[in-house]
Structure 1
Amino acid sequence: MPLAIEALDHLVINVRDVEVAADWYQRVLGMTREDFDPGPGKVRRTSMRFGRQKINLRPLSASKEEWFTADHEKAGSDDLCFLTSASPQAVADHLRACGVAVIEGPADKRGAMGTIVSVYCRDPDGSLIEISSYK
């Protein structure tokens, strides 16, 4: 029987400064911060929870022994799309109120389940953040 992937549980993004990134994801995107200790010889973990998912914020300074990760880690190289029930105009207004520049949108794009309306900005490391709602 072939493997069937059902959902995304979490992803890891590499950041220059965990505190700066955690503050941004909490303040701008309303995510909940969770810190935990993975045990001896490992770097303390910071996760940003939203819905049924989370993002782990991996500091670039962590070695592969301290945090098992991808082969080529680089801050600011991610392109993430988040879904919201807020209107695209409300998203754009919220970003501006938080001092975050809107770099594109609202604009129609193609999501996994059909047409989405997206607003784009960048996180503190320069990763592209797309905040979208289905039409």
Structure 2
Amino acid sequence: MRFTVDRLDHLVLTVRDRDISASWYQRVLGMEIEEYGRNNRVALSFGGQKLNLRPEGSEGWTTAEAARPGVSDLCFVTAIASDDVVRHLESCGVQVVEGPVARLGALGPTTSVYCLDPDRNLVEIASYQG
């Protein structure tokens, strides 16, 4: 039997300030904030996935050896056109780092817009419709 994985369930981001990061992802990307587990852990849900926010230096997490804020590149897919993404980011006071630019996603060609989250992780917002 060959072992394969089916899908990505969640990612964990190490953040400087959990509340600031949660608020940013909710306000800018429309994710839902949910508390779970012990110690008031916070996750951001979207579609069938979630993003767990791990405060830097917090105890009780099994995590990568060098986990720290600002070292991730993330790509999220949206159903709206990239020009609309740019307008939305600007209306939220978020600077566009690059884009719209043509890229290749998991399902084929995309148009992507890039920005930075509060910890300076690179956030790509990709649209398969242009």
Q: Into which bin does the TM-score normalised by the smaller protein fall?
A: over 0.9
Match of 2:113 in 1: 119
The structure 1 residue matched to 2:53, chosen from 57, 64, 70, is 57
Deviations along 1:21-54, one digit per CA (max 9) or x if unpaired, are 000000000000001233xxxx431000000000
Mapping for residues 34-73 of structure 1, pairs under 5 Å: 34-38=34-38, 43-63=39-59, 66-73=60-67
Shift of 1:61: 2.3
Shift of 1:84: 0.5
Deviant stretches of 4+, over 6 Å: none
Match of 2:82 in 1: 88
Q: Given residue 128 of structure 1, which amino acid in structure 2 is its aligned partner?
A: L
Match of 2:69 in 1: 75
Mapping for residues 101-116 of structure 1, pairs under 5 Å: 101-116=95-110
Q: Given residue 37 of structure 1, which amino acid in structure 2 is its aligned partner?
A: G
Q: Sequence identity of aligned pairs in percent?
A: 48
Deviations along 1:76-123, one digit per CA (max 9) or x if unpaired, are 111000000110000000000000000100000111111110000000
Unpaired runs of 5+ residues, structure 2, are none
* TM-score under structure 2 length normalisation: 0.96
Q: Given residue 33 of structure 1, which amino acid in structure 2 is its aligned partner?
A: I
Match of 2:24 in 1: 24
Match of 2:11 in 1: 11
Q: Given residue 57 of structure 1, which amino acid in structure 2 is its aligned partner?
A: L
* Partner Cα separation in structure 1 for residue 45 and residue 107 of structure 2: 23
Shift of 1:67: 1.1
How many residue pairs get aligned? The number is: 129
Root mean square deviation, CA, Å: 0.9
Q: Given residue 45 of structure 1, which amino acid in structure 2 is its aligned partner?
A: R
